[in-house]
Structure 1
Amino acid sequence: MAKRYGGKYSPEPQEDDRPVTDPRNLPRPSPKEGHHPLESRTFWVTLMGSPLLIGAFFHSPLTMATSLAGFGLLASGMWMTREGLKAEAAYDARRAARRPAIPRKLFGGILTGLGLAVGSLEPGSAAAAGAGIIGVAGVVLHWLSFGSDPMTDKGMEGVDTFQQDRAARIIAEGEDYLRAMRDAILRTGDRRLEARVHMFGATARELFKQIEDNPADIANARRYLGVYLMGARDATVKFADLYTQTRDPKARQDYEQLLADLENNFSTRTSQLIEGSRTNLDIEMQVLRDRLAREGVQTPAEPPALDFRTQDLPGNLLIPSKDREPEKR
C-alpha cells in the first residue's frame, strides 16, 4: 500500500502511522439535514415539464402565457413537495415529533395539478374540461407517488412543547457551530483533521439526540450546547488560520488534544443524562408502589413463579414427572 513520504525536511512531518479516516464513512448529520429516498423524484418531474417551458415560445401569445404559467406552477409544486419530503424525513427520524405545521406535500400536489391543467389549457369549453381532468389526474398521481403529509403528532404524550421548542432552537444553534467548524477546518486541506472534526461532531450529536428525546434535560446541558460549542468553533477558526500559514505540529497537537477533552466531556454529560433519566424512572416507580401500598394493594418486587400443579390444565402435561401420581393399571 502506498505510504505518504515524511521526513526531517518535509513540510508536514508525520508523527504517527494512524490510518486516515475518510469523512464520507463517518456518521451523517442530524435528521434536520436528512435525505428522503423519494426526494430525487421531484427533479425528474420538473425536468419532464420542461417541454412546456421550451415550446412556449413557438406558439401564440395566449398559449405561451398558459405554458409558462403551467411550468411555473409545476416547478413550484415540486419545490413544495421536496420541502415536504424533508420535513417527513425529519419527522420519521425522531421518536417524538409534532406534525409539520404546513402540509407541504398536499399543497405541492395541488400546485402540480394546477400546473398540468393550465399548461394543457386551450380555447374552448371541451378543452377546458379535458384540462380539468388532466389536473385531477395529476393530483391523484402525485399522491400515489409521494404519499401524504404526517397529520398527527408522534410520541408527544406528556411532552412539554415549550421545552421541546426551546431544545430545538438550541440544538439548531449547536448545529450551526458544528457546521462552522467543518467549514473552517477545510481550509487546512488535511483529511485527518477533517475526520477528527467529524468525529467530534458525531459525539456532540449523541448529546443532541439525548436532549431531543428528553427536552427537560436541557438545563443540565445548556453550557455544552452553547458555550462549549461556541468556544470549539472559535478555536477551530483560529487554528485553521494559524495552521494554513505555519503548519506548526505543536499547534496541531494542542488542537487535537482540545477536541479529545471536549469529546470526553460531551460523552460524560450524555452518560450522566441517561443515568439521570434512569434514576428518575426508578424514583417514579417507587413512589407509585408506595401509593399503592397505602391503598392496600401489594406490589411484589418480582412476579410470583407459576405453580403448575395448582393450575386447571388439561391432563398432567405441565406437572413435573416426580410429582405425578402413579398410573393405576
Structure 2
Amino acid sequence: MDHIHDTAEIAPDTAPDGLAVARTQIESGLNFLFLAAFPLLLWVFQDSFAGIATAIALLWVYSLALRLIAAGQQIHHDYDHADVARAPRVPRKVIGAILIGLVVLVLAGHKYDNLWIPGLTGVLATGLALAAFGADPMRDKGSERARRQATLDSVETSLASLTDRVAALDDATLTLKVEAARRLVLGPMRRVSGNPGTVERLDRPARRVVEIMEHEIDRLEAAWNAQGHVFARRRFLAKLDVMTDSFETFAMQNGIRGSRDAFERQADKLIDRMPRESAA
C-alpha cells in the first residue's frame, strides 16, 4: 500500500479489527444508498435506444461516484486515526460528490425544458453529498520530519519482514543477497532523510521494490519444496538483481552518489562465486 500518499500511516495503537469494521460499515452504507437511488434511473428509461443508453451511462457514473466516496471515506478514516499522514493527492470524495451532482443534473434535464432548474438541483445534490460525507483532508498531518521518518520506518519494517522470510528458507546465498538488497534500498533513503524532496522521490520506487519482492518471495516459498525449486531460486535471484540495480540507478540519477560502496560490490562478487566454488 502507498500508505503515506493516498492513505494514512496507521498509529500503532489503532486496532486493525476496528478499521475493518468501520470500512465494512462504509461499504454497506454506500451500497444501500445505491439501491435507494436506483429507481430514479427509471425516469430516463424509454423505449428508445438513446433512453436505455443514457440510463446505463448514468448508472455507471453513479456507481463510480459511490466507489470514489467509499475510497475517500476509508482514506479519511485512516487519516483520522494516524499520527502522521499526508493529505490525499486525489480528492475522491469531492469528485464523487460532483459526479452525483452531474447525475442529478441529467435526470432533472429530462423533466425540464430550461437548464437553470436542473443546474440548481445538480449543485444542490453536490452540496448535500459534501455535507453528508465531508470533504477530503486538505493538509498533511504531523511534522515534515515525522512524515519522512514514517516513510523510512515503513519501508524498513517491510524489508526486515521480507528478509526474515527468506532467512527462514535456510539458504545462505539467498539470505545474503536479500540482506544486501535491503541495505542498498535503505542506505540512500537514510542518507537523504534530511531532504524532503529527495525522500519523496525515493519513496515510491522503494515501495515498488518492496511490493515486487513480496510477490517474488511468495512465489519462491510456494515452489521451495516442489520440483521447480532450482528454477524458482534462479528466477528470484535474477529479479532481485534487476530490482536493486534499477533502484541504485534511480538513486544516482537523483543525486545520491555512492549508494553502494566498494565493500558491498566485493561482497556481491563473493556471493556470486559461492555456488560455482561449492560445485567444484
Q: Could you say which TM-score interval applies, normalised by the shorter chain?
A: 0.3 to 0.5
Structure that is richer in helix per residue: 2
Larger radius of gyration: 1
The alignment's TM-score, normalised by the length of structure 2, stands at: 0.47
The alignment's TM-score, normalised by the length of structure 1, stands at: 0.40
